[in-house]
Amino acid sequence: DGVDPVEIETVAYTVEDGVAWVSLNRPDKRNCMSPRLNRQMMRVLDELEFREDVGVLVLTGEGTAWTAGMDLKEYFRETEAQGLKGTRGAQRESYGWWRRLRWYQKPTIAMVNGWCFGGGYGPLFACDLAFAAEEAQFGLSEINWGILPGGGAAKVATELTNFRNAMYHSLMGENVDGRKAAEWGFVNEALPLDRLKDRVTEVAKVLLTKNPVALKATKDAIRRVREMTYDNAEDFLVRAQEAANSFDNEGRKEGIKQFIDDKSYKPGLGAYDK
């Protein structure tokens, strides 16, 4: 549809057995995020979000990087040269797809195969779950080239890890590997790179067995309640479940029936048969 083929190639994806494997695809540039990549990623997220053959989305990177953060040349220098309009436009495009991913219809998993810097913390936090290679390196390198961790990165650090870790990490510009990232809460688990994809596949397969309306309601609930008082959360969750009921009248009743009447499964040990 008239989009530059170079731009289209910045993101690769395949759909296999219910899982969309989406890759940042500028391996020669360590998958740093240019305005073109940001635009293409929004198109790809659009294309996949409501497809019936997609139940889980995995975000990963081609080559040695997950993402080396924002493209210092194309995202910063070249857009700044266009004045405030250029800067704000570039911000809108990158923050836009991260926000889209935070509230995505399907559960999302960051599969952090390598370098993850700066602006990469946006999509990292946007994904519901995250698994990293032990060999991966995470860094808020902004301080190393003279800016603050913007684009939400400072917020992500304080959301995911404690105050001292976040402060040390961003002031020192010192990287942590996948193992430390798991200890700090940046990711759920770290595994040797050669086992990373198998583990993520295993997690995705479990998610695919769950009620999709409940998955979306749950992922949104976990994000929303973080910022609420207890009472607001309690009320929000009542409303959210009632709204979910209008999308799924039978699923949860079936879930109760298979346990109480059929005795065909135990919710404490796995999902009901959809």
Give the separation between CA 130 and CA 57, rounded to whole angstroms: 12
C-beta of 89 vs 270, nearer to ligand ACO: 89
Give the separation between CA 258 and CA 80, rounded to whole angstroms: 59
Q: How far is CA 85 from CA 40, 79, 88, 104, 150, in A?
A: 20, 8, 5, 28, 18
Piece of the chain touching ligand ACO by CB under 6 A; list 3-11, 80-88, 114-122, 177-185: 114-122
The least distance separating ligand ACO from the CB of residue 122, rounded to whole angstroms, comes to 9
Look up residue 206 and give its two tokens: 């479990």
Site for ligand ACO in 122-181 (CB under 6 A): 141-142, 151
Piece of the chain touching ligand ACO by CB under 6 A; list 16-24, 110-118, 193-201, 249-257: 110-118
Residues in Cβ contact with 186 at an 8 Å cutoff, skipping those fewer than 6 apart: 124, 130, 132, 138, 160, 161, 176
C-beta of 122 vs 255, nearer to ligand ACO: 122
Amino acid at 247: F
C-beta of 55 vs 119, nearer to ligand ACO: 119
Q: Given candidates 21, 30, 40, 196, which one binds ligand ACO under the rule CB under 6 A? A: 30
Give the separation between CA 27 and CA 11, rounded to whole angstroms: 11
Piece of the chain touching ligand ACO by CB under 6 A; list 115-123, 125-133, 156-164, 227-235: 115-123
C-beta of 19 vs 24, nearer to ligand ACO: 24
Q: Given candidates 13, 97, 104, 115, which one binds ligand ACO under the rule CB under 6 A? A: 115
SS3 annotation, 124-147? HHHCCEEEEECCCEEECCHHHHCC
Give the separation between CA 36 and CA 253, rounded to whole angstroms: 46
C-beta of 71 vs 128, nearer to ligand ACO: 71
Piece of the chain touching ligand ACO by CB under 6 A; list 29-37, 124-132, 161-169, 262-270: 29-37
Instruction: Check binding of 25 to ligand ACO (CB under 6 A).
Output: no
Look up residue 265 and give its two tokens: 């499964």
Listed residue (86, 113, 88, 94) closest to 30, CA to CA: 113
Per residue in 18-31, is it b (16+ CB within 10 Å) or e — as a string?
bbbbbbbbbeebbb
Q: Given candidates 35, 61, 118, 123, which one binds ligand ACO under the rule CB under 6 A? A: 118
Site for ligand ACO in 55-94 (CB under 6 A): 64-65, 68-73
C-beta of 117 vs 138, nearer to ligand ACO: 117
Class of residue 12 by CB neighbours under 10 A (exposed 0-12, middle 13-18, buried 19+):
middle
How many residues form the binding site for ligand ACO (CB under 6 A)?
19
Instruction: Summarize as ranges the residues that interact with ligand ACO (CB under 6 A).
Output: 28-30, 32, 64-65, 68-73, 115, 117-119, 141-142, 151
